[in-house]
Structure 1
Amino acid sequence: MGGHSAVKLVLVDVDGTLVGKDGVPPCVWPRVEALRAKGVRLSLITGRPGRGETLGYARRLDPTGLHVFESGAVVLALSQDPHGPPATPVHLAALLEEAAQEAIRLARR
């Protein structure tokens, strides 16, 4: 392989994967840096919202990468300031009317 990794992208979950019961283990960040040095991109993928501590994890994994929050509802490109205008969505798709009606029905229940 000549030192090049066949893996180009690693998706990292937060709870129970990156973060354990005692937080992020100290061994994680040096390994993240080693992977990045080999050209591997790391993206956070989580059900958590993209702010605060979780956004900090994403920035440490890849400060210019794409990261997925809120179970796929939000994808942030950290090459842009995600909290300053103008925020440009990476992908925008309308929720199907049937799905929206079902969500409303379930919420009312």
Structure 2
Amino acid sequence: MNRKHDLLAGCRYIADKQVKNNFGWAMDKLILAASVYFIWQERNRRLFTGVSRNVESVINCIKDSVKTRLLALKVKKSTKSQRTASKWGLKWSSNDMFEAC
């Protein structure tokens, strides 16, 4: 598997999306931004301190970051957003925002 190619393809996919005001696009951006941030942070940690975390730990950081940001979004209730809420362990609050279960 060529991970560099996969990351570039993912970036191009997000950049080329025509509809930029929908929930799926926002999710893609959140996941990509968190992934880049925590992978770069891990790279710096290894390079400058010699300390490293395992892959699962970095993935958990990414997931926690995305989940936290989802809690701040006001989202229209749709099939896709309800499915996403379920996947991320969130539920709907009365003001059309996610809340942690």
Report which of the two structures shows the higher radius of gyration computed on alpha carbons.
1
More helix by share: 2
Structure with greater strand percent = 1
Q: TM (normalized to structure 1)?
A: 0.25
